[in-house]
Chain A
């Protein structure tokens, strides 16, 4: 019955490596969101799922970013061929309706690309 969880909490990748970030939403939450937060900035939207359907991916910065939620619960954000500009905190949030009521955030994954 815990909140949103994310793993790993910290990830260091060498430039060019692929990474996969995991999000476990609150059980029963239909909507799932990914945000990217650069240092000193507010989070920025990446993508949105309603159950297993990816309804909005307009925030994904390039085709190196890919997200999935195949069974409508756990979601994975994958970044291929990481670049230094991908260094950020990646936040996952979930909410209980498709209309996006109050969003509950996980602790985030801090990605550092060296």
Chain B
């Protein structure tokens, strides 16, 4: 069964810390992997998309890496700010399916001043 797992489930840090959020997936045959942000009561905002042929993507203070062979992706957030507080979701598009994303349960991040 194709599954996506995110660790930790929740994280609380002081402002300014560098953070690492982890995502693991059970099948290395993937098409792409997306990281999303979700604010309470809101929809999903796409942060980074990594194609299977890529190793990493960067956007501002965010960097996501992909290691297909080990079934892992990491989202790195530099110099965290209170505005980064949200739930971060990892989603994988596995090869061979009809394009549906398989999501992890998310990491709830709280950055306090």
Shortest CB–CB separation between residue B83 and chain A, in angstroms? 19
Complex contact B106–A48 (CB within 8 A): no
Q: Does A65 contact B (CB under 8 A)?
A: no
Number of A-B contacts (CB under 8 A): 70
Tell me the dominant secondary structure on chain B's binding face.
Answer: strand
Complex contact A105–B31 (CB within 8 A): no
Q: Does A25 contact B (CB under 8 A)?
A: no
Complex contact A43–B103 (CB within 8 A): yes
Shortest CB–CB separation between residue B73 and chain A, in angstroms? 14
Shortest CB–CB separation between residue B29 and chain A, in angstroms? 15
Complex contact B93–A91 (CB within 8 A): no
Complex contact B98–A99 (CB within 8 A): no
Size of B's binding interface in residues, CB under 8 A: 25
Shortest CB–CB separation between residue B93 and chain A, in angstroms? 6
Complex contact A91–B44 (CB within 8 A): yes
Whole-angstrom CA separation of A110 from B41 in the bound complex: 9
Q: Which residues of A contact B (CB under 8 A)?
A: 4, 31, 33, 35, 40-45, 48, 55-56, 59, 91, 93, 95, 98-108, 110
The 7 listed contacts between A and B (C-beta, < 8 Å) are A42-B89, A43-B103, A102-B34, A102-B46, A103-B101, A105-B43, A105-B46
